[in-house]
Amino acid sequence: MHYREVEGKREYVARLEHGRDWRGQIEAFAETQEIDAAFFMGLGAVSDATLLFYDQHEQEYNSISFDEHFEMTPAVGNISWLGDERFAHTHVVLSREDGSTVAGHLDTATTFAGELYVREFETTLEREHDETTDLDLWPL
């Protein structure tokens, strides 16, 4: 395991805007507040979600889209740099009306309602390509 001790900096609570992309709002917020590294948790409701699943054998993301309404229970993730942009690496569990769920790496989803907690760290994290997994990971 590779690790680095980090100190907390600023903390935020936020309400996401109706009708806008869930992950895109987090990235725009991080850009506005100049957040270079953070952890977040969120909950709410979304529609029109696209999730990504990383095929470990093929080493590529496959996407699946859902044209339905969901409760988000929860969204968790982190903010760091990916190239020259801030990236909100977001995983979600999405619950249907019947209680069944879908889950995975969130690509996009239209926000119906959302609440977010963000804890910024006093460091910068920038993703780098990892040869073994073919993913962009933290170089700790």
Share of the chain above pLDDT 70, in %: 100
CATH number at residue 54: 3.30.1330.80
Q: How confident is the model at residue 4 (pLDDT cuts 50, 70, 90)?
A: confident
- Confidence check: pLDDT of 60 > 90: yes
Q: What is the mean pLDDT of residues 20-45?
A: 98
Angle subtended at Cα 57 by Cα 56 and Cα 59, rounded to the nearest 5 degrees = 60
Q: What is the mean pLDDT of residues 106-120?
A: 98
Would residue 22 count as lying in a domain?
yes
Q: What is the mean pLDDT of residues 75-102?
A: 98
Domain count, the chain: 1
- Where b means 16+ CB within 10 Å and e means fewer, 35-67 reads bbbbebebbbbbeebebbeeeeeeeeeeeeebe
Beta bridge partner(s), residue 72:
44, 94
Secondary structure element (H or E) that encloses residue 29, with its range: helix 22-33
- pLDDT reported for residue 49: 98
Would residue 102 count as lying in a domain?
yes
- Confidence check: pLDDT of 99 > 90: yes
Would residue 17 count as lying in a domain?
yes
- pLDDT reported for residue 78: 98
Q: What is the mean pLDDT of residues 27-44?
A: 98
Would residue 50 count as lying in a domain?
yes
Structural domain containing residue 67:
11-122
Would residue 38 count as lying in a domain?
yes
Which amino acid makes up residue 71? Answer: E
Would residue 86 count as lying in a domain?
yes
Residues 108, 24: contact at Cβ < 8 Å? yes
Would residue 135 count as lying in a domain?
no
Residue 125 CA to residue 36 CA, distance in Å, equals 6
- pLDDT reported for residue 140: 87
- Confidence check: pLDDT of 5 > 90: yes
- pLDDT reported for residue 116: 98
Q: What is the mean pLDDT of residues 28-33?
A: 98
Would residue 52 count as lying in a domain?
yes
